[in-house]
Structure 1
Amino acid sequence: MNMVGLLARRIFGLGAGLSMALVFAIIFINSLRRYTVGSSVAWGEELPIYLTIYGVMFGCALAYLQDRHIRFTILTDLLRPGIRDRLFAGVDLLTIAAGIGLMLSGHDFASRRGHIAASGLRSLGQSLAETTGIEALEGLARIGTWQFAMTLGGAMLALAALIRFSERLTGDKTVA
């Protein structure tokens, strides 16, 4: 396994794990608040949804890079290994194109609707900006910040497929 592949695996794994840990922590804290204080924070309902989307994007890229993604192999298992390897390399090239398409469409989508405020996150963005003095944190309240997950996910998927393609060409069978 080359250094680029190892680094990408670690980054994708960290992103997926961190996203899911944050989702759990937010839901757990919000539940505790709801049953102890009687109210939950407004952003605690909407933020986990967006964090889950980012987590799924990181997880998809990691699964593809590890070659552990869902695939139906009923027919491909009947092929000789050499033909199957060439077929999977072709799928890698198609996945690179699909990742680039997802990246471009995600960017287009986020840039067209990115200025719209996410109702549940408006108070979070404003309070963070006021508390820290960093006005850029108001961007957390905009839908574009969270729609950017499609752009990032497409780029990560294309990168994962490119790395996997190069590993197939070099004969690297590592999936970890």
Structure 2
Amino acid sequence: MNQGLPPQMGQSLLFLTDEQLRKGIEAMFFAYRGFTADPDRILAEKSYGRAHHRAIHFINRSPGTTVNNLLSILGVTKQSLNRVLRTLIEDGLVASTVGTRDKRERHLHLTDAGAALERELSDAQRDRMRAAYRAAGPEAVAGFRQVLEAMMDDETRQHYKAMKDRSE
């Protein structure tokens, strides 16, 4: 778990003070602000918000996903997701098709325009993450991912692992 760390440093990480935790929380807030800044600017030009971005991201990651699966992944209300999807469909970024086995299901796909927007948003975030990962080094990247995964609740971790398994 504490690969590459001297034993005494690994032990000290187990007993973080409230001040050290506060600094980590603040770093997370500021990092998230940086991570979302570029996509927020792109989305604002189109009068979209972060909910639109999340929907586009996960539809791209799982083409043909159902509305119910997307609800589960995003952890939002049906009403909230329907507002977002209605806009994305009306604007020609997402296509919704009726399920072949279950006519009540709606399967979601990005259109060419939706895929282009997803690439633009993801490219901005990949550039920022790539620069941060390079600056921090491979051990920090692995540790960071472990911390993020440990912060997830069980249901969220299951969704994350399912997506991770699909891409490997």
The TM-score, its normalising length taken from structure 2, stands at 0.27
Question: Which of these two proteins has the greater Rg computed from alpha carbons?
Answer: 1
Q: Which has the higher strand share?
A: 2
Q: Which has the higher contact order (CA 8 A, sep 6+)?
A: 1
